[in-house]
A and B are shown apart, each in its own frame.
Chain A
């Protein structure tokens, strides 16, 4: 069962489509519907345009990407993104993955520009961190070599 959320221009408000089924514990406000188009986008530009409204980013030395130079297991690549900027959001894209956008984090006003997680990488690729701060997009990237791909199939 697919539910298409049309995100062009505006962010679809209201609960996620899946809210209709049992499972949601308490009524919650979500900041935005799950950005389906961005996650399905096949190119970095499309993903960023869909997610953040634009794809041009300024390279920033204030974004630090901590990730292994060589990932032994592409299914579990630990990465940590940190920045001193007042970040509204941090997004992680993996250039050569089937769908580049891996995850995005909307940060509260008192939340630091810091996120650490583990992602899957299909093959050696650039890992791109995009930080939205002051309404602008800043980015940094790091190449991670992958010996065994993590996307399966």
Chain B
């Protein structure tokens, strides 16, 4: 996996903060076979994504292998204001993780 990137765009629309996140991850299902070696490519996927705002977990996503590669996620929540910081982090099945913060615009 090249870079563990999380790109976040967060914007206020009236009183709702709309968050869009794009993560770099192979999200390998474990069902594909390497055509050259004939061996199955092991599963490698994000299991959990957490979004925090002011110490509160606004959303916790539990993912299986069926989420697409380089996953996209969008959700909305209230109680935020322009200028607030939100944090998105993920953990995968190999123990790797990544985190990123963004300011709500």
Task: For A120, give its contact among B47, B68, B74, B75 (CB under 8 Å).
Answer: B68
Candidate in B40, B67, B79, B91 with the most chain A CB atoms within 10 angstroms: B91
Query: Smallest CB–CB gap between A84 and chain B, Å?
Result: 13
Contact (Cβ within 8 A) A28 B50: yes
Contact residues of A with B, CB < 8 Å? Answer: 16, 18, 20-25, 28-32, 34-35, 39, 75-78, 80, 94, 97-99, 101-108, 110-112, 114-121, 150-153
Contact (Cβ within 8 A) A152 B32: yes
With both beta carbons as reference points, the residue of chain A lying nearest to B46 in the complex is identified as A103
Complex contacts, A32 vs chain B, CB 8 Å? 62
Q: In the bound complex, how far is the Cα of B77 from the Cα of A30, in angstroms?
A: 19
Contact (Cβ within 8 A) A118 B75: no
Contact (Cβ within 8 A) A39 B64: yes
Candidate in B47, B62, B77 with the most chain A CB atoms within 10 angstroms: B62
Query: Smallest CB–CB gap between A71 and chain B, Å?
Result: 11
Complex contacts, A25 vs chain B, CB 8 Å? 89, 97, 99
Mask, B34-72, CB within 8 Å of A = 1, is: 000000100000011010000011111111111111011
